[in-house]
A and B are shown apart, each in its own frame.
Chain A
């Protein structure tokens, strides 16, 4: 496996999460017998051009047919192959949703389904290509593990963890190239165990995917305003780390979830579902993609329009704190 260090972290960051995923496939192919990578006509977009060239017999393009992508992947996985299958997050979650429910969920066939370009990564492609409901949908399917890595280094960690996970996984890739770096050094990544990146006493910011970086930026800005924040990297949406939620419910006056995903039913929804079972819990503010379709724009524009940049998140939290 490629070593995890600051040099690779910078290289992977330049490539973005999809490019990093492709490199990880090359590493895993050398380690795992009976390995297959499938895509629905998104080889280059998945960062898989080198993989296709170097391991053509382990690569399969099923064409623009996402339902079939999941079905074929399940057939191969049922026969014992470790299978990664890639398509855009919205197609994985919506075009092939019933195949995911039946094959990965109901039968528990351990396909590793990769949602590319989730959130606003597809920029000028517009709303047809934004993956903004995928967590909501995937979360409702029993048996499915949902991973949402914070940066490219975590893409490596999460992809390797997915390959070793005995059950089905939905791996959600966010952001574009020059993906902000959260992790420069190696660290322990365990499915279902969130990472506390910063400890504070006032606010707990629980973030996932690309928003972990922005949450850290926000926390540092809040610090200068005298507001102390905990920052949690909730890289596993399902199973949700409820232990860390118990901790922050006790240690914080307010909880904030931040995600590059709809405010309906995503990480915020998952956290709300859990904490609402407690007799007492801090108020929860869910920050995410607003419940509306977007005017298409580039990635930074879309984040800004939805209040998802670090400074905007800091302002929103500071305002809440004044209430």
Chain B
């Protein structure tokens, strides 16, 4: 019998491995570079989803009752691919093909149902609408799956996010859970400088059930993600995160939004993570 603490402990270890693997991938990408900042900020979110929340089966990736996960912030692949590898959807060999020419794992995900990748993404503001459609299909067919959509807080600048937010409430999609990677940074700088707004109030205003979580605390995320939803009400989890989390010279430093990693920087980063 796996206890609650054991589950959380396993996820914690999984997140640690993922963070190292993410750095391995970024190093292997060479001059192509990688989205390190937001890849690292979603590591714990992805670890909790694939390590303890999502009902998915790598041996049956098209299982009709599987939970659906949509990475709307497509530049989070370092967190996504490393989680899919941990969960058994992607082999170690496949993971090593990250950002290879013509490969299946480019910098932003390409739909690949057999590898657990539900949709292509990269352009921001698309995932929540897709999630509304998938959640509606589940409701209409009486299926019990949940749909999880991970977005960035910067991504929520997009008007299409709010079209979908409006619809999710109107269609009473309590099987839809949005997660916001609230790292308070976006491509050009601090979110408050680029487009300051009170997202919590906005989601509440759109009729969603708003839950706050510490986006790097396994227990906080797990409790938020596993909890039952209020009937007829979609839920959003505002997960407070740090862009570039875990590597001091990357944290809250937008030079690492997308950058190439040198071997020396990689060694420093790995040492730092390993010593924690």
Contacts and interface: CB of A to CB of B under 8 A. Distances in A.
Partners in one complex: yes
Interface of A: 57, 60, 62-63, 65, 67-68, 70-81, 98-99, 102-103, 106-107
B123 A102 contact: yes
Contacts of A80: 137
A265 to B, nearest CB: 23
Contacts of A77: 133
Contacts of B119: 78, 107
A67 B130 contact: no
B254 to A, nearest CB: 25
B167 A63 contact: yes
Main secondary structure of the interface of A (DSSP, over half): helix
Contact of B129 (A63, A72, A81): A72
A80 B140 CA distance: 12
Contacts of A72: 129-130, 132-133, 136, 164, 167
Nearest to B138: A79
Given A79-B133, A103-B126, A67 B163 contact: yes
A65 B133 contact: no
Contacts of A70: 129
B137 A71 contact: no
13 contacts: A60-B136, A60-B171, A65-B166, A67-B160, A71-B128, A71-B130, A72-B132, A75-B130, A79-B138, A98-B123, A99-B160, A107-B111, A107-B120
Interface in B161-185: 163-164, 166-167, 170-171
A67 B134 contact: no
A57 B107 CA distance: 39
A75 B163 contact: no
Nearest to B134: A75
Contacts of A73: 133
A76 B160 contact: no
Contact of A74 (B130, B135, B159): B130
Contacts of A78: 118-119, 130, 133-134
A99 B129 contact: yes
A171 B117 CA distance: 29
A65 B164 CA distance: 9
A63 B169 CA distance: 13
Contacts of A57: 140
Contacts of A65: 163, 166-167
Contacts of A102: 120, 123, 126
A79 B136 CA distance: 10
Contacts of A67: 125, 129, 159-160, 163
A71 B136 contact: no
B50 to A, nearest CB: 21
A68 B120 contact: no
Contact of A68 (B129, B135, B137, B140): B129
B79 interface: no
Contacts of B163: 62-63, 65, 67-68
8 closest Cβ contacts across the A-B interface? A75-B133, A71-B129, A79-B137, A68-B163, A65-B163, A72-B133, A75-B134, A67-B160
Interface string B96-124: 00000000000000010000001110010
Interface in B128-163: 128-138, 140, 159-160, 163
Given A65-B163, A67-B129, A99-B160, 8 more contacts: A60-B136, A62-B163, A62-B167, A68-B129, A71-B126, A72-B132, A75-B137, A79-B138
B129 to A, nearest CB: 2
A84 to B, nearest CB: 14
Q: Point out which of B136, B137, B171 has the most chain A C-beta atoms below 10 A from its C-beta.
A: B137
A255 B133 CA distance: 45
A144 to B, nearest CB: 15
A106 B133 contact: no
Nearest to A98: B123
A67 B123 CA distance: 13
Interface in B77-100: none
A113 to B, nearest CB: 14
A160 B123 CA distance: 32
B117 to A, nearest CB: 11
B91 to A, nearest CB: 24
Q: Point out which of B129, B137, B160, B163 has the most chain A C-beta atoms below 10 A from its C-beta.
A: B129
A99 B158 CA distance: 13
Given A75-B132, A76-B137, A107-B120, A68 B167 contact: yes
Contact of B131 (A75, A98, A106): A75
B134 A71 contact: no
A71 B160 contact: yes
B227 to A, nearest CB: 24
Contacts of B136: 60, 72, 75-76
Nearest to A79: B137
Contacts of B133: 71-79
A77 B137 CA distance: 9
Nearest to B130: A75
Given A76-B133, A76-B137, A102-B126, A71 B164 contact: yes
Contact of A103 (B125, B130, B134, B166): B130
Contacts of A71: 126, 128-130, 132-133, 160, 164
Interface in B209-244: none
Contacts of B118: 78
B164 A68 contact: yes
